[in-house]
Structure 1
Amino acid sequence: MQKILKDAQKAYKLLSLQENCSNNEAKSLIDRGLVSVNGKKLQIARALLSPQTKFQIQKPNAITEIFRDSQILALAKPAFLTSEEVAKSYPQWVLLHRLDKETSGILLLVKDQSEFHLKAKEAFKQMQVKKHYIAIVEGILEEECEITAPLLIKKGKSAKVEISKNGEGQKAITKIRPLEISGKKTKLDIEIKTGKTHQIRVHLAHLKHPIIGDTLYGAKPANRILLHAYSIALLGYNFVCPPPEEFTFKDNL
């Protein structure tokens, strides 16, 4: 044991040797959630690991265009890119909403301060936007349910959201419907009436069924957080983006 600790090196340095890249590039890969060891996402770039460690690196899928007209641009956002990083590729457009970095699926952009932009923002405010997500969670969920626990957002370097214990906080409504059960995992269809920070993730963790890979809210590590923005409908538009292959049940989920 002492020899292993003595020979151990920082993860990003070992990765830079394996991939023949700079230490900064290796650290960035780890920080972005793209590096796994034995099927589990590596969380800490400075973690001490054996020199024999073998890393697996995921490459984000390409951004693909679902629909475009003069008012709206619908994109399929891959996991491991922030919404802001996606938007940089489309300088004539601005984000209408956001998805978490590891959440894949439909992302909408509009022309800044256009008439449609203002109408769309009001539709979100009035809860007139219909959004469905697909998630795979830990444990078995057999019944439909609606979660209305209000949320408290803790400010800091990174967002962390909690359920309000005194009933105060931001209104949040999440409806869940089981689609498929495999072993001790459940695939869910999720409809949200509101779009608060980490709403789905926190509400599912509140049910004691965190999303696979969502270590921030109590799940075991995995290659990514298995949450996908499947469909969105607003102001006469209706877009669908099928989930990637990791949402097909496999033994290694």
Structure 2
Amino acid sequence: MQSVSDFTEEWQVIVDAETAGGRLDAVLARQVSAFSRSRIKDLIVGGAVSINGQTVAEPNYRLKTGEIVELVAPPPEEAEPAPEDIPLTILYEDDQVIVIDKPVGLVVHPAPGNPSGTLVNALLYHCGDSLLGIGGVKRPGIVHRLDKDTSGVMVAAKTERAHADLAAQFADHGRTGPLHRAYTAFVWGRTQQGSGTVDAPLGRDAQSRLKQAVRQGGREAITHYTAETRFGDEGWDITRLECRLETGRTHQIRVHMAHIGHPLVGDTLYASGFATKVRRLPEAAAEAVSALGRQALHAAELGFAHPITGEEMGFYSDLPDDLQRLEQALMPFDRSLPGRAG
């Protein structure tokens, strides 16, 4: 089969001996890389494909040598969320992907309670006509999320092809490719080891629909952590960790750190029992923690293969101002400095 048209929304292909007998949806998915196979199937069922001038709405139709297949994809529908002029810090952008440094307080996707003012609204405004459609809708392809109060690096797809490739990379969790994610976390206490792994399945907390919990039968969840700096004095300890995700579950780092007895500083959902520890901190550190109003967690690093070129790409985000203030307040109590207990 040869492609004889390079139009964005129209393709014409001729069945040759090599692909004769193949399923219509499977063959088109191989030839028209702009769409996923599921999207191709939807287009066929929707009447967007004809063979020798006659509409064929059966994805499992077996092709015959010499048949002329035409696919005319309708333009993507406008997304339901409205575009909103929300400032974004853009680390990288091309016609396939956009990488941003998400600020604290920005919700990723519209949902009950947050119908607007989200990252999706912002991307719809910023990207405009460069969004070529995901699943037939003009919208950005969100392949991973950060909590509202977690800052840092995120990537979104601008085309269906990029979305499918990035989604596959995140589903693989970097086990066979270059995808990697590293977070900076400030946790209560002094970890017993300089590094470790938490391998504990996560599922919905039976007592609260807002929380996740370690539970039997939950989804696999693995977090690797390394202590970068230990702070402390009489009556308190805080450790700065680098956490690398092998999986990406909701609240994964927050739950895993709480599970091993080191919940995140400022996390009111999973570290409520540690609130009184703030009183033991020196004044500047106590003020910095109280001013956070969120968990001390930052997505500092994201790496992946470009979905079209395959180039390995890496992006980094410095600590935001609130976490920098916290770290500066803790620095006089850095136990890793020469002459201090480490």
TM-score higher than 0.5: yes
How many residue pairs get matched? 190
Q: Give 1:108's aligned residue.
A: 155
Q: Secondary structure at the match of 1:121?
A: helix
Residues 153 and 197 in structure 1, CA contact (< 8 A), matched pair in contact too: no
1:103-252 map, 5 Å:
103-112=150-159, 114-128=160-174, 129-141=179-191, 142-154=193-205, 158-164=209-215, 167-183=216-232, 184-219=237-272, 220-221=274-275, 222=290, 223=292, 224-235=294-305, 236-248=312-324, 249-251=327-329
Residues 153 and 316 in structure 2, CA contact (< 8 A), matched pair in contact too: yes
Cα distance between partner residues in 1 of 2:208 and 2:88: 27
Gaps of 5+ in 2: 1-85, 110-117, 125-130, 132-139, 276-289, 306-311, 332-342
Residues 135 and 190 in structure 1, CA contact (< 8 A), matched pair in contact too: yes
Choose which of 40, 65, 68 in structure 1 pairs with 2:90: 65
Is the alpha carbon distance of 1:233 and 1:252 closer, same or farther for their aligned partners in structure 2, counting shifts above 3 Å? closer
Aligned-pair identity in percent equals: 29
Residues 82 and 100 in structure 1, CA contact (< 8 A), matched pair in contact too: yes
Cα distance between partner residues in 2 of 1:242 and 1:170: 31
Q: Give 2:100's aligned residue.
A: 75
Which one is further off, 76-85 or 150-159? 150-159
Gaps of 5+ in 1: 1-60
Structure 1 segments of 4+ aligned residues over 6 angstroms from their partners: none
Q: Secondary structure at the match of 1:89?
A: helix
How far the C-alpha of 1:94 sits from its partner, in A, is: 3.0
Is the alpha carbon distance of 1:80 and 1:192 closer, same or farther for their aligned partners in structure 2, counting shifts above 3 Å? same
How far the C-alpha of 1:245 sits from its partner, in A, is: 3.0
Is the alpha carbon distance of 1:147 and 1:154 closer, same or farther for their aligned partners in structure 2, counting shifts above 3 Å? same
Cα distance between partner residues in 2 of 1:157 and 1:206: 16
Instruction: Using structure 1 for the length normalisation, give the TM-score.
Output: 0.69
Instruction: Using structure 2 for the length normalisation, give the TM-score.
Output: 0.52
Q: Secondary structure at the match of 1:204?
A: helix
Which one is further off, 185-194 or 239-248? 239-248
Which one is further off, 138-147 or 169-178? 138-147
Is the alpha carbon distance of 1:109 and 1:192 closer, same or farther for their aligned partners in structure 2, counting shifts above 3 Å? same
Q: Secondary structure at the match of 1:75?
A: strand
Find the structure with the greater CA-based Rg. Answer: 2
